[in-house]
Amino acid sequence: MTSVAIPMNPNVFRRNPKLGIGLGLTLLGIAAAGFLVEYNEYRSLGNDPQALTIEQAVPSPAAIPDNARWVRFTESLVPDCNLALQETSNGQTTGIRVLASDGSKQRWFYVRLQGNVNCDVANQPLTGILKKADPSLPAWLKDKGVIVPASTYPLMELSVGEDPGSVKLLLGVFTGMGVLGLVIVVVFANLLKQSTARRPMAKSATIGR
């Protein structure tokens, strides 16, 4: 992934506090939306993983819950390790992404494995957070050379090793982002108030001359 450094000049925000307020409001909006999504997911996970067979977890296309679930599969998936994708950061492997199915190859899962692990790890009963995959995921995978087989079942996403604690951490991140956004709004709102108050004074001084 190529990182692009965007030069930031703080004086731009000082000269135009409305830009700073807009930045703060943007952060607040992102934080609020992210917090709401993660909080709804957190509420649906429960205190313990549900022990389920693959068929119980994905019973039929119409009966699959929309909310995320914390599950422990009692049987193994069948991963297609020939098309596994590596997730890297600073040249190091941080995760493996692989398509896997049930024995009948009707139910397909996008399995997210954390760390530098072998794809074969997916070929065993797994525990993690299960939810319907984003509708745009198959197209993204296709661009990577991974084709999701046609099925009457929606593609599911299983984040192995994640639990309510993982979601709780994200809630903390979005809370911190929201607080930062609020502080930015308050700071630049005060700057805007001060600059607005100085303008009439400047005009009065000009008239006096």
pTM score, whole prediction: 0.67
79-110 pLDDT tens trace = 998 888 988 888 888 899 999 999 999 999 99
- Is the pLDDT at 206 greater than 60, yes or no? no
166-178 pLDDT tens trace = 777 888 898 999 9
- Is the pLDDT at 54 greater than 90, yes or no? yes
Comparing 41 with 209, the larger pLDDT belongs to 41
132-167 pLDDT tens trace = 999 999 999 999 999 999 999 999 999 998 888 777
Domain positions in the chain: 24-47+164-187, 50-162
Q: Return the sign of the alpha-carbon dihedral for residues 54, 57, 58, 59.
A: positive
Range from 10-24, 26-40, 137-151, 193-207 carrying the lowest mean pLDDT: 193-207
Query: What mean pLDDT, rounded, does the chain reach?
Result: 84
Comparing 99 with 208, the larger pLDDT belongs to 99
Share of the chain above pLDDT 90, in %: 38
Q: Kindly report the number of other CB atoms within 10 A of residue 152's CB atom.
A: 9
pLDDT band at 3 (very low <50, low <70, confident <90, very high): very low
